[in-house]
A and B are shown apart, each in its own frame.
Chain A
Amino acid sequence: MKTEWPLWEIFIRGQHGLSHRHVGSLHAPDAEMAIKNARDVYTRRNEGVSIWVVEAEQITASSPSEKGPLYEPSESKVYRHPSFYDIPDDVGAM
C-alpha cells in the first residue's frame, strides 16, 4: 500500500477577510487531519477564522502558456469598465 499521505491545498479566510485565500499546502491522511494540521500550521498567529482544505489532485489549473487566448479578449472590451463612459459633470455623481 502506498503510504505517502496525499497533498491538500489550504485556504483560509482572515479575521476581517472577505474571501478564502490560498495560504499553502500540507500532507495529511484525510480531510479531518488536514484541517487539524492547517489549524496548527497556518493559524498559529491568529491568521484566520475559517479553513477550507481541498485535495490537491482535485484542482485543475490553467496553464501559463494559454495566457494569450484566455485573457486577451478582455483587453479589446474596454467598454466593460464604467470609466469608459464620459458622463458630463452637470449630471452629477453616477
Chain B
Amino acid sequence: MYAQMVKSTGTGVQSLDEMSPEDRAFQERIDAGEKIEPKDWMPDGYRKTLIRQIGQHAHSEIVGQLPEGNWITRAPTLERKAILLAKVQDEAGHGLYLYCAAETLGISRDEMTEMLLDGRMKYSSIFNYPTLTWADMGAVGWLVDGAAIMNQVPLQRTSFGPYSRAMIRVCKEESFHQRQGFDIMMKMAQGNTQQKAMAQDALNRFWYPALMMFGPSDKDSVHSAQSMAWKIKMNTNDELRQKFVDQTVPQAEYLGLTVPDENLKWNEEKGGYDFSEPDWEEFFEVIKGNGPCNTDRLAARNKAWDDGAWVREGMMAHAAKKRARKMAAE
C-alpha cells in the first residue's frame, strides 16, 4: 500500500542556476527522464527522502497485514479465507520488494525495522483503523487498495530505478486485491438486509480514512514541490484524491451504497466531483500516534520482533554451522 507525510530535507526548490554543478547535472538527468540507479551520485536530500518514502511504504505493507490478518480465522467461507491468505501473503511480498529497494540506498532492513518499532518511522495512517466486521475486508480491498493503486500507478515512473521497478511488480498484484475487495462488497451489497447494512457501515467508516491516504492538502504539503522536482512524486496529493473520488463514486453507486458525504456533487465545469475534505485534525492525530489502533499495531510488531529474536539468531547459528561443516568436508 502506501506511505504518506514524507518530509524531504532542504529548503525549497532551487533553480538550476542556484545549484552546485553536481546538483545541476543530477537535476538535468531527472529532467531528461533518466532513471537514477543505486551507484549513481545523488543529492543527500534525494537519498534521505527516498529512504523515508520507500521505507515507510514498506512498513505500511507489513503493518497492513494486521487489520486483514484479524479476519483470517473468521472468514465466512473457505474460498474467502484462501483468498484473504493469498492477499496477506502478497502484502508480505510487497514489503519485501520495497525494503530491498530502500536498501539499495545504503540502509539495512533491520535498521528500518527498528525505526518502525520505536516510532521513528511511520506507516500509512489507514492501518490504525480497526476492522470490525467481515465487510471491512471488502472495504479495505476496494477503497484502501484502490487508493494505493491510484498512488502507485504513477510511481511506476518515479525517478529512482529500484523504486519504480518495485512499483511495477506491486501494481500487478495490487489490482487483484482491489478486485477481490470489490467482489466482497458486491456479495454483501446484494445480500440480505443485514449484509447490505454491514457493507454500508464499512463504507461509512473507511471512506474518509481512504481519502486521507493521499496525504494532506497541497497547500499544507510543504515538501511536495521538491519531491515533484526530483520526480519522486509524480502527482500532487489533491490531484490523486480527486481522481480517486471520481473513480470510486460510480462504483459505490453500482453497489447501491451511499458515500457518507452530503456535499458530494458532480461538478460539470471541472468534470469531477466536489466532495468534503476529510477531518485533517483527526489525520494529524493518527499520524502522531493517537489513532484508534496505533498502540496495538506497534505492540503487535514489537512483540513479533522480540519474541522472534531467538529464531532469527538460531537460523544464523545453524547457517554458520552448516557452512563450517561444508568447508571441512571440502
Contacts and interface: CB of A to CB of B under 8 A. Distances in A.
Interface of A: 1-5, 7, 24-27, 29-30, 33, 40-41, 44-45, 61, 63-65
Given A26-B100, A41-B96, A44-B93, A1 B37 contact: no
Contacts of B79: none
Most buried by B among A24, A33, A65: A24
B78 interface: no
A63 B38 CA distance: 10
B97 interface: yes
A7 B166 CA distance: 17
A3 B100 contact: no
A30 B319 contact: yes
Contact of A24 (B86, B97, B323): B97
5 contacts: A3-B312, A5-B315, A24-B97, A26-B96, A64-B40
Nearest to A25: B100
B100 A24 contact: yes
A4 B93 contact: no
Nearest to B109: A27
Interface string B95-109: 011001001000011
B316 A61 contact: no
Chain B binding surface SS class: helix
Contacts of A7: 100, 103
Contacts of B313: 1, 3
Contact of B315 (A2, A33, A63): A33
B323 to A, nearest CB: 7
Interface of B: 37, 39-41, 86, 89-90, 93, 96-97, 100, 103, 108-110, 166, 169, 173, 309, 312-313, 315-319, 322-323
Contacts of A41: 93, 96
A51 B89 CA distance: 20
B318 A29 contact: yes
Given A4-B109, A4-B110, A64-B40, A29 B100 contact: no
B40 A1 contact: no
Contact of A5 (B41, B166, B316): B316
Nearest to A10: B100
A29 B319 contact: yes
Contacts of B37: 64
Given A44-B93, A64-B37, A64-B39, A30 B323 contact: yes
Contacts of B323: 30
Contacts of A27: 109
Nearest to B314: A29
A4 B100 contact: no
B109 A29 contact: no
A1 B97 contact: no
